[in-house]
Amino acid sequence: MPDTLVLNRDYSPITLLPLSAISWRNAIRLSFLGKLDIIEEYEDWIVHSPSISMNVPAVVVTKEYFKFKKNIRFSRANVYIRDMFQCQYCSEHFDRHDLTLDHVMPLSKGGKTNWENCVCCCKACNAAKADKIRKPLRTPIKPDYYQLANQNVNIMHKIKHPSWEQYLKVAEYT
């Protein structure tokens, strides 16, 4: 799990899909190379080298502005986020390891693997459905970047440092 949140020059996350976070080692290396400024640190986490000691960066900001392309790709993780980790047949919420992708129109009947034909499904419902056609709770759609980013913020990542929250709340899109 990354330890350092990376913000764009305007103090917003570069991306929420996935969350722009990097390892503390990369954050320190990039700050020494002059590419990042450290704005928040872990008060109780200090790393040492033979010549220096420093707190591990919690939040960094880039020195250059990065324009991020806001097109989203179809992926298992993004379908789980779109469906809020909820099985679209039994409506139960699950951990990502207990979920599968289900084709609403089965591949054996000519269905495609795309946003409009795949839903989040628990393993039990997927096995029971097999290659039958069953209507999901919500009709699957291709979300735009902002819809998926809002869903992702609502799910909330494991926040490594309290200061992350203020920057992630600023990034919420309506």
3-state SS string for the chain: CCCEEEECCCCCECCECCECEECHHHHHHHHHCCCEEEEEEEEEEEEECCCCEEEEEEEEEECCCCCCCCCCCCCHHHHHHHCCCECCCCCCECCHHHEEEEECCCHHHCCCCCCCCEEEEEHHHHHHHCCCCCCCCCCCCCCCHHHHHHHHHHHCCCCCCCHHHHHHHHCCCC
pLDDT of 173: 46
My answer on whether omega of the bond before 18 falls inside 30° of 0, hence cis, is yes
Q: Minimal CA–CA distance to 114: which of 68, 78, 87, 155?
A: 78
Domains of the chain by range and CATH? 4-70+146-170 (no CATH), 76-142 (1.10.30.50)
Ranges of the chain whose pLDDT falls below 50? 173-174
Taking CA atoms, 36 is separated from 2, 11, 39, 78, 146, in Å, by 16, 12, 9, 29, 26
pLDDT of 55: 94
β-pairing verdict for 53-62 and 118-122: unpaired
pTM of the model: 0.66
State both tokens at 94: 């699950």
State both tokens at 108: 């054996």
